[in-house]
Amino acid sequence: MPSSSLRRDLLLRLMGPLVAVVLVAGASAWGLAQHFSQRVLDQWLYDSAITLARQVRFVAGKARLDVPGSAIEMFEMDVVDEVFYEVTTTAGLRIMANSAVPPPTEGPDLAAESVYYDTFVRELPVRAIAVRVQGGGGEAVLVKVAETRNKRDSLANEVLVATLAIVAMLFVASFALVATGIGRSLSSLQPIVQRVRGGRRAFSPLPEGRDVPSEIRPLVKTINALLREISEEHAGRQRFIADAAHQLRTPIAALRLQLELALREKDPERHEAVLADAAAVLSRTSHLIHRLLTLSRVDQAAEDRTPFVEVDLDRLAREEVESWIDRALAKGIDLGYEHRGGVPVVAGREELLREALSNLIDNAIAYAGPDGPITVGIEGDPPRLFVEDSGAGIPEAERERVRNRFYRMPGTPGEGCGLGLAIVDEIARIHGASLRIGPRSARAGARVDLEFSPEGPGRTP
């Protein structure tokens, strides 16, 4: 299929009506010209017949025709056509003739004074006229004059050629007008193309002013909305890369210092201590890199358009609790699971939901302290997946901020990097779910919910 072009499309669409209009105009012009030119020739035929009819005299009821020979010669003289005449009484008696001319189809008793008709004389097609002349004593005469069609045919041909020439000129002229008109209208798109092409800053919006044709303004608006979205996304990514680079620079600078120190340190005990510090920094860095990779994987999953599958949250939570139980026990924490009702099935991506839950359990074990139990649970319909602990909790003022990338509450211990809740938040967004952060009870603890919505894509179809 050829590529789409507005110019070609408009021209093709206009071509049909244009051809039709030109043809109708041409046909009408031809018909009119034909009609009037034939009428002029008919008038000549009528004049001849009437001249002849005036010569008819009725003497004692009998019709007589006295025409001088020179007049007859004048009458018959025509370079292009042959002229035939016949004068008869209505009873059929021939008075004068140079050839037999058949009467009109309605017979010799004409309704009008004269009648035109087409017939054949000596096997030649002719145009004929019959004129009736009424005598005093009931006698009547029929004058018939016929003429071959040479003048008429060549006149018709000339009219046809002239009309065709006019039609062709009309067509070429209107096509040229339409084509230049379309070209002019479409050229109003040029400035926009120019502005898109020429020296723009990345993501700056296209002009939506009055000089933009209203037909393409919706397109320009859509492109601008898209540009804004891409620009915001781009800015977000830039920020993230800058933050990530900043986060990595600090431990790597520390690591370099420690290793330089270790190289110079001669005392075996201090040498070992410096190396242990370096190993701890390295472990934190590796944890940070692991989290960065997870976040980038989750970001990519947000673009993934493959359909969700049914995920059994009950089984997923049991398995996840199972895998964390040893680490909880090692810190003296009681980690348990409770299904508090509701249908625990959602449409989603299992590996992402597992990652989210794992991050929440990780936080609870890291920040809640050994004071109380941690409960992973499911309740409600649509289901809520939650993790609650009995630690210090997250103060209300911090509940929004802790979702931000790289944010940690001041004084938070451990090797975290502030990406855990950001990852959970993104996974919630992908599932059309919301991440709710609150206290476990009025007095203490934290409770973090992953709340699936009834309409969201996280719900089973």
Binding track over 390-429 against Mg ion, x by CB under 5 A: --------------------------x---x---------
Least CB distance from residue 446 to ligand ADP, whole Å? 4
Q: Are 131 and 53 in contact (CB under 8 A)?
A: yes
DSSP state of 459: B
User: Taking CB within 5 to 8 Å according to partner kind, which of ligand ADP, Mg ion, none is near residue 103?
Assistant: none
Interface with ligand ADP includes 364 (CB under 6 A)?
Answer: yes
Could you give the 3-state DSSP secondary structure of residue 119?
strand
Instruction: Report CA torsion sign: 399, 402, 404, 407.
Output: positive
**Residue number, 271 or 284, with CB nearest to ligand ADP:** 284
The site partner of 292 among Mg ion, ligand ADP, none (C-beta below 5 to 8 Å per kind) is none
b/e map of 38-71 (b: 16 or more CB within 10 Å)? Answer: beebeeebbebbbbbbebbebeeeebeeeeeeee
d(CA 459, CA 142): 103
Instruction: Give min distance, CB of 360 to Mg ion, in A.
Output: 8
User: Which of 363, 390, 423, 432 is the binder for Mg ion (CB under 5 A)?
Assistant: 363
Residues 211-230 that bind ligand ADP (CB under 6 A): none
221 versus 399: smaller Cβ distance to ligand ADP: 399
Binds 445: which of Mg ion, ligand ADP, none (CB < 5-8 Å by kind): none
CA distance 124 to 142: 21
Strand partners, 97: 86
With CB under 5 to 8 Å by kind, the binding choice for 367 among Mg ion, ligand ADP, none is: ligand ADP
Residue 388's binding partner among Mg ion, ligand ADP, none (Cβ under 5 to 8 angstroms by kind) is none
User: Cβ of residue 369: shortest distance to Mg ion, in angstroms?
Assistant: 15
**Which residue number, 156 or 392, has a Cβ lying nearer to ligand ADP?**
392
- Largest Cα span, the chain: 169
User: How many chain residues interact with Mg ion (CB under 5 A)?
Assistant: 3
Q: Edge-to-edge, what's the strand order for the sheet holding 374-379?
A: 335-339, 374-379, 384-389, 446-451, 434-439
- Decide if residue 251 touches ligand ADP (CB under 6 A): no
- Per CB under 6 A, 29 contacts ligand ADP: no
Cα–Cα distance for residue pair 128/144, rounded to 1 Å: 7
DSSP calls for 371-437: TS-EEEEEETTTTEEEEEE-SS---GGGTTGGGSTT---TT--SS--S-HHHHHHHHHHHTT-EEEE
Report d(CA 202, CA 200) in Å as an integer: 6
Site string for ligand ADP, 388-427 (x = CB under 6 A): -x-xxxx-------x-----xx--x---xxxxxxx-----
CA distance 163 to 48: 31
**Smallest separation (angstroms) from ligand ADP to the CB of 408:** 3
Contacts of 400 (CB under 8 A, 6+ apart): none
Q: What is the smallest separation between the CB atom of 300 and ligand ADP, expressed in angstroms?
A: 20
Judged by the rule CB under 6 A, the positions of this chain that interact with ligand ADP are 359, 363-364, 367-368, 389, 391-394, 402, 408-409, 412, 416-422, 446
Judged by the rule CB under 5 A, the positions of this chain that interact with Mg ion are 363, 416, 420
